[in-house]
Every structure is written in C-alpha cells, then in structure tokens.
Amino acid sequence: MIKVVELRKKGKNYLVTFKSDTFEKEYLVSEDLIIEYRLIIGKEFTEEQYKKIVNAINKDSIYQKLLKFALFKPRTKKEIFTYLDKKQVEDYGYYLTKLEKLKLLNDDLYAENYVSDSINFKKIGPKKIYEDLRTKGLSDALISKYLDKYPEELYYQNMAYWFDKKLKGTNNKPYLVLKKNLMTNLLTKGFDYEEVHAFIESKSSILIDEANEEEAIKKEIIKLKDQYQRKELKTSLNQYLIQKLLAKGYQYSSIKKYL
C-alpha cells in the first residue's frame, strides 16, 4: 500500500508526500485534487489508485498553468491549442472542456470583443483587425460577422486620429515626404489604400502649411553648400542642390522658386 505521510500548504496548493516500502515521493497538488481524492495524512491507496492520482496530478499541473495563461487575457482556441502543443499534451478534450465550463473559451465572444476594442479604443482599421484575428485562428465568416459592422463615421474619425497624432511629431519635412509618411502610417494601421489616399488628398492644404518647405529648404541648402565645397565637384552648385533636394523629397517647383 502507498500512504500519504505529509501534507503541507504551499501558496494556493499543497505539498503531498506519498510513501511505500520502496519509495517516497512529493507532489505539488491543487486544492481541488486534495478534496477529490481525500488526500489526508494516513490515507492509504493501492498501487493502481496511486497511479491514477499521479496521472491526475500531472494533468492538473498542466491545467493550472493553462488556466493562468487563459486568465491573463482572452485567448482563442488556436492559442490554447498552440500552448498545449508546446506542453506536448495529447488529451486536448480534458483541458478544453474545463476551460469551456469556466466560459474561458469562446471564439465568437472573443471576435466580438476584439473588434469592438480595436475600433473604439485601439482605433485601428479593418484590414489590421482582420489580419490580427486570422493569425489567432478565427475563420473569415466569424471575423466578418463583427468586422462588417465597423461604423463608417468611426472609420474616418479613427483615420483622423492617427493623422493628427502623426502630424504633431512632424517638423519641417518636405511635402512629399510628409505625405508619404502619413500615408504609410494610416496603411499600417489597417485602413484601405483608396480611402487613405482620398483622405490625405483632402488634407493637402494642411500638409503644405505643416511642411513649410521653404524653411526646410533653407536649412538643407546651408548643409548641402558646405558638402559641395568640401567635395570639389565638377557639376554646378545649382545642379548639385537640385539633385540632392529632389532626392530628399522636395518638390521641383519649391526648389526652383527658392534658388
């Protein structure tokens, strides 16, 4: 027979020591298993019962880690499968059933909440939301169920949010560079190219004022003149300046006007 010879509290779990004529082993056991198998000091088990308990302890150990993983933030079934794969678990059903009973595994609810948070708080576009959810293993049908409800008003409000935020960090950049940076930023946030292009075009006057190309060109020319003099190039200064300024994204009309 195999007997429980020691039981000590450790955090939320217990250290249980089993002893027989040939071995003595200690396990970290959850309170649920203590109650289920009545693991109290002096309790004896047959070898078959002991093996069943050890198997339950091993499975429960993985489950407790999985539960912590699932509670840290909402997870999809694919994320749970990936976690169990890393643990080299075979009996997925045991773990999935336990999580479902606790209502911690619901892809439909996950998709609904993720789309809502992405629109209202993260303020990102539908393309990025779609890509994020696909990587998490959700189907096109499930994603579309909630993503198709993206309000048109919020779509443009969210674009404006990222436009204004990016614009604030801009200082005297060439108009074309500024325009490209803002386009890239909005596309990265998941908004549609055609919509972004139209939106940026509608803000052209703001970009021209913000870019302040003439002031930026003045500073660039001072630096470029110094480089030109040090390099002793055969091309004329004007040619050199035009080539370099064009390469930096300045418009030819602005360059010619200032030169």
Count Cβ atoms within 10 A of the Cβ of residue 189 and give its class: 0-12 exposed, 13-18 middle, 19 or more buried.
buried
Domain 107-147 carries which CATH code? 1.10.10
Extents of the domains making up the chain: 2-101, 107-147, 152-211, 213-258
Q: How many other CB atoms are found less than 10 A from the CB of residue 46? A: 10
Residue 213's pLDDT is 67
Residue 11's pLDDT is 87
Count Cβ atoms within 10 A of the Cβ of residue 247 and give its class: 0-12 exposed, 13-18 middle, 19 or more buried.
exposed
Count Cβ atoms within 10 A of the Cβ of residue 203 and give its class: 0-12 exposed, 13-18 middle, 19 or more buried.
middle
Residue 247's pLDDT is 75
- CA-wise closest residue to 64 among 98, 110, 16: 98
Residue 230's pLDDT is 74
Rounded mean pLDDT for each run of 10 residues along the chain, 259 residues in total = 92 91 92 91 92 92 91 92 89 87 90 96 97 95 96 96 87 78 95 95 84 69 72 74 73 70
Give the architecture-level CATH label for domain 2-101. Answer: Orthogonal Bundle (1.10)
- CA-wise closest residue to 96 among 114, 110, 78: 78
Phi, psi at 154, each rounded to 5°: -70, -30
The single-letter code of the amino acid at 149 is K
Are domains 2-101 and 107-147 of this chain identical in fold?
yes
Rama region for 172: left / alpha / beta (φ>0; ψ in -120 to 50; rest): left
Coil, helix or strand at residue 4: strand
Place of tokens 């040619």: 239
Q: Are 229 and 219 in contact (CB under 8 A)?
A: no
- In this prediction the pTM is 0.72
Residue 101's pLDDT is 87
